[in-house]
Structure 1
Amino acid sequence: MRADPTQQHLVLFARQPRYGVGKRRLAADVGNLEALRFARASLGRLRRTLGSDPRWTLWIAVSPDRPTGWATPARVVAQGAGDLGERLSRVVRALPPGPLVILGADTPTVTRRDVADAFSALGRHDAVFGPARDGGYWLIGLRRRLRQHLPFDGVRWSTEHALADTMAAMDGRTIALLRTQEDVDDGPSLRRYLSRR
């Protein structure tokens, strides 16, 4: 039976690709122009790859909250202020009911199969994670229930503990893991990505 795309939500967390904004660790290694080129290329690739699939509805969680024209024609939701945990919680609570998968715009190797596997895992588990090589995660998916406790408080973001902290906060709920991928956060990870293309 084919899934109703209005009930499955794929959210791409993305900062507006502008010169000198975002990807600061990457820019420190390769310069602002190369960081901007990567941000634009990665966002464009993910939108082309994942945006037209009828199995889910694509949302872009934007930062800053305005302007949003760069994110259309996808559906847009604002990330708002705060640390990553606060922004994730805000987006999870803002979207309509249904399974939700969130991924960052800095993992351009994500495929439709990865996203489909995540939604499939949510049919049997409360949450799904795509582990990143650096100890974080490139994807999180939640089945979502009313008054659900979200696992984002106390997470040591941007460290090798982010995945372990988030999983520990799941309070015994069932978890599935996808394949390990690499976020492009710095010069060495960008070089590895470009060498594999």
Structure 2
Amino acid sequence: MSAPGVLVLAKTPQPGRVKTRLCPPCTPEQAARVAAAALADTLDTVAATTADARILVVDGDHPAPAGWQRLAQRGGPLGDRIANAFADARPVTDGRGAAAATLLIGMDTPQLTAAHLDTAVGLLDTADGPDAVLGPADDGGWWALGLREPGHAEALRAIPTSTARTGRLTLAALRRRGLRVHLLPRLRDVDTAADAHAVAARCPAGSRFAVAVAVDVDVPSPAAVGR
């Protein structure tokens, strides 16, 4: 049996459309460069995994790397776009002879490693493994969701996103469906300048994100970090 597929849900890094919470201290152009670097590092990490299928699910015209599939995001609210991404990717994974199991991540955790993803993929690919894997984020959301049966992503349509309760609500919704959920390591995602510097410090050597943060994101004052 082939390994599950990995989806990367992303926005094309255009000024004014990505990483707006970095502004200030960043300009929209600087924030877009930081987002582009985060996406590039994330795509490289996914390319280094054992996943059978790699799919960029993108809002905008950003191209997929060679050897990847590319899908357009559908829907308005983020929960709908995530559920639609799982649904739209299923023919791609099934068409490659893979199990329908799918792992979805975003572009906001460039510090993640191929080992993080291979662990999640391996759990979904194990006969007696969990039905779902969920990676909680420090801000109360989540950075990864993997489903052995992608149809369960329908539960996300009713969950408010980008709140301090999103992760807890997602976990509860999955368990209400009778799913066995394995929690992945907690990671910090990038919203603010403080997040950007904290995450950059955890990125591997050669990280484009770390370089972009050093160049384009002013170090926040202690007062700003405390807010």
Q: Same fold (TM over 0.5)?
A: yes
| Corresponding position: 1:163 with 2:156 | no
1 or 2, which has the higher helix percentage? 2
Give the match for residue 198 of structure 2.
Answer: 192
- Counterpart of 2:15, as a letter, is Y
**Conservation of the 8 A alpha-carbon contact between 2:39 and 2:107:** yes
| 1:52 to partner: Cα distance | 4.5
Pick the aligned partner of 2:188 from 182, 185, 194.
182
**Conservation of the 8 A alpha-carbon contact between 1:29 and 1:186:** no
Q: CA 1:88–1:41 in 2, change beyond 3 Å: closer, same or farther?
A: same
| Corresponding position: 1:60 with 2:56 | yes
Q: Write out aligned runs for 1:69-148 (5 A).
A: 70-73=63-66, 74-95=68-89, 96=91, 97=94, 98-122=100-124, 123=126, 124-144=129-149, 148=152
**Unpaired runs of at least 5, structure 2:** 95-99, 204-227
| 1:21 to partner: Cα distance | 1.6
Deviation per CA, 1:94-137: give whole Å up to 9, x if none.
12342100000111011111111111222311110111000100
Write out the 4+ residue segments of structure 1 that deviate beyond 6 Å after TM superposition. none
Pick the aligned partner of 1:20 from 16, 21, 29.
16
- Counterpart of 1:174, as a letter, is R
d(CA) in 2 for partners of 1:91 and 1:194?
A: 28
Aligned residue for 2:21, secondary structure, equals helix
d(CA) in 2 for partners of 1:29 and 1:99?
A: 40
Q: Could you say which structure has the larger radius of gyration?
A: 2
Q: Write out aligned runs for 1:4-43 (5 A).
A: 4-5=2-3, 8-43=4-39
Give the match for residue 207 of structure 2.
Answer: none
| 1:25 to partner: Cα distance | 1.4
- Counterpart of 1:108, as a letter, is P
Q: CA 1:51–1:196 in 2, change beyond 3 Å: closer, same or farther?
A: closer
Greater CA drift, 27-36 or 116-125: 27-36
Q: CA 1:148–1:177 in 2, change beyond 3 Å: closer, same or farther?
A: closer
Identity of aligned residues (%): 28
Deviation per CA, 1:6-48: give whole Å up to 9, x if none.
xx21001110011222221123442213211211111111112
Aligned residues: 189
d(CA) in 2 for partners of 1:29 and 1:135?
A: 24
Deviation per CA, 1:31-71: give whole Å up to 9, x if none.
2132112111111111122214443311000003xx35x22
**Unpaired runs of at least 5, structure 1:** none
| 1:162 to partner: Cα distance | 0.5
d(CA) in 2 for partners of 1:188 and 1:121?
A: 33
